[in-house]
Amino acid sequence: MANDLDEYIGPHLSDEGIAIMHVDMDAFFASVEIARDPSLRGKPVIIAGLGPRGVVSAASYEAREYGVHSALPTGIARRRCPNGVFMKPTAPYGEVSRAVMAIFREYTPHVQPISVDEAFLDVSGARRLIGPPARIARDIRARVNAEHGITCTVGIASTKFMAKLASEAAKPDGLGIVPRATELEFLHRLPIRAVWGIGEKTAQKLGRLGMRTVGDIARLSTDSLAASVGTASAEHLYALSRNIDPRPVRPERVEKSISNETTFGHDAPDAAAWGPTLLELSRKVASRARAAGWAGRGVTVKIRFGDFRTITRSRMLPAPTDVGHEIHAVARELADAAATAPVRLIGVKLDHLVEASAVGRQVALGEPEHGWRDIETAIDVATAKFGKGAVRSAGRLRRSDSD
């Protein structure tokens, strides 16, 4: 927590009249591994795919000091942190996540998981029966640590947006409270990238207007903002820069998934044969997710071999996505390792779904740093207008031309 913000956020401040909590597990995957093997404590632990296309899923805070972070290619992580302990994601993360969420529900039924390692809670109804939010937060943090050997950070505020900012400011292993009386002072001193929906491109546009802090955004009218970022984005930024966030905490729904699979007319002998289909399936799954307003953190590949033996391989992403390029990168790595014989059927599934609007800056404005979502959204539009055959991958076109 930054010292110059201590007067606006801290565990000692009043929680009167605020009841929205954001709970975020600290370096979740790495922390679960360390809890299983205490000899790893204090070491730079990096959970990652270990193949040539591998990416980092999680990094302990010791590893982060070397510039290692989620979604970083494993090869780069090895160069930045040559003494790191690199591990495949093998621990029962889902099991621990479900147990932690069950702890939350002992305090309130209003629990909205955002991913396996974070959730929003509305504890307004628990104040009379259990106690004030700060006491509930301390109880939750103590129980998670005692029962699972991992730590979590909690932010408490009047809105989801502010509660998440409070937890980010209090990390790691902290409790951050933003009272109503100081929330705008706290918010307006933060850099503009703290606002959900502001990625690199939007930050550059606002920077050209002299915008550096959230307070600078708050001083602009929606018309002035719209001239640089468009009307929809302007309204979004105008509201959040004033902590206007009416979204309620939505209790967890029954988990859903989005999947597509294909059975080959003849067994596909190798990756050159099934690879283009895997790419197409990943894009279809992503397109369906975008159309439904979902993003997912879990990717599963299903493979059925010529002898009808069927296997599945799964991995959790560092953050929820609705981008086919990202889904395919993980699906391909899983399939490369698992497809040891000719393939009869191959499928892709996206699960651990959350509302795309709740994910944060990369999904919120359709402005991911890599630009792939923009490309795929344009393909969605072309397909809707001209039909499914309007846009095909270059690999598919080359195969069709040679047929």
Q: Which residues are catalytic?
A: 118
Q: Is omega for the bond preceding 276 within 30 degrees of 0, making it cis?
A: no
Integer Cα distance of 231 and 225 in angstroms:
8
Is 313 strand, coil or helix? strand
What is the separation, in whole angstroms, between the first and last Cα of the chain?
Answer: 62
Contact 117, 318 (CB under 8 A): no
Is 288 strand, coil or helix? helix
Q: For strand 20-25 and strand 152-157, is the pairing parallel, antiparallel, or unpaired?
A: antiparallel
Helix, strand, coil percent values for the chain (each to nearest 5): 45, 20, 35
H or E element, residue 347: strand 343-355
Integer Cα distance of 390 and 155 in angstroms:
47
Integer Cα distance of 352 and 60 in angstroms:
23
Torsion of CA 327, 333, 336, 337, to 10 degrees: -130
Query: Is the dihedral angle over the CA atoms 67, 68, 70, 76 positive or is it negative?
Result: positive
H or E element, residue 121: strand 118-122
